[in-house]
Amino acid sequence: MGAKDRKLLRRARSHTNVYESFSDIALLMLATFIFLLATILITSKLQQEEVIPRLKRELASLQQRLSASEAARQRLQRDLGDLAGMNVEAQMERVLAAAGLDQGQGKKDFELFVEGLRELPGETLHLVVDATGSMHGASTFLVPILRVIVQRSGKRLDAITWFADGQGETFRGSLGEMLDQLLNGAPFVGSNETIGDAFARAARDAPAPGAYLLIGDEPSDDRIYYDEIPAPVFTLPIGRDIPLTLWEYQKLADKTHGRMLHLVFR
């Protein structure tokens, strides 16, 4: 074999080695791709087996809560319809019975509270209502009670503002329209009592009333700028006697030249 033949043989072997190397790399890449694809499929399958049942449970829970909320909303709308045809005294008795305050000391306490409403100054009233989750239980009879509060106060209801978790909305219109909007628009979920934000919203979205009436059950989670509230605030803590809530509601009333009223549901 001559030198030329040996050179051609080496070149052929070199080309063969290059082709074999590229072939090996291609096979390795293909094996890697198959491995990754199999890993992704297995992981996806495991996630589906874990996530889908959990999502189904959560969906079922949400459907139950939605059904309960819808039932409560329909019940409240029926109550509003029934109350619309009653005089003030009949409405009072209906509301007291719904709240368990239709006899004994409970009724006496409520009557004392109603007497306090007559001290509200001016001609108009702006309700500021806690719509967080802690008020969900009270929401069953809250709207009828608000109706009686307005009627017994002798004031014209100018606006209603609800607040929860830094969110809120101010409603204006007739008494029935505002109560319907509160019933349909307030969430009664969440845990942040943003009272300061609520009064800023109320002052921005409605004219200054004769007085504000704050109705809630827990102290504020944000800062309240007392000097920027344009009217006296009368506060009505509902529920358990929480010392911090009573202290803050009393302070808010004192700082704005209002008064704290009392109505405790047991």
Read off the pLDDT of residues 102-154 as tens digits, 9 standing for 90 and up. 555 555 555 545 557 778 899 999 999 999 988 876 666 777 778 878 887 88
For residue 265, pLDDT beyond 50: no
Top pLDDT among 20 and 160 is at 160
pLDDT, position 2: 56
Of 15-19, 75-79, 91-95, the poorest mean pLDDT is in 15-19
pLDDT, position 266: 41
**Can you tell me the distance from the alpha carbon of 192 to that of 218, in angstroms, rounded to the nearest whole number?**
9
pLDDT, position 148: 78
- Which of 138-142, 202-206, 236-240 ranks highest by mean pLDDT? 202-206
**Can you tell me the distance from the alpha carbon of 26 to that of 3, in angstroms, rounded to the nearest whole number?**
35
Q: How many CA atoms lie within 13 A of 51 on its CB side?
A: 6
pLDDT, position 215: 92
Of 12-16, 39-43, 53-57, 260-264, the poorest mean pLDDT is in 12-16
**pTM for the predicted model, two decimal places:** 0.60
Closest by Cα among 235, 179, 239 to 212: 235
Q: What are phi and psi of 225, to 5 degrees?
A: -95, 90
For the chain, domain boundaries: 1-85, 88-255
pLDDT, position 49: 65
Looking at the chain, the whole-number percentage of residues with pLDDT higher than 90 is 32
- Cα 118 to chain center, whole Å? 32
Which amino acid appears at position 140 of this protein?
A: T
pLDDT, position 150: 86
Q: Which numeric CATH code is attached to 88-255?
A: 3.40.50.410
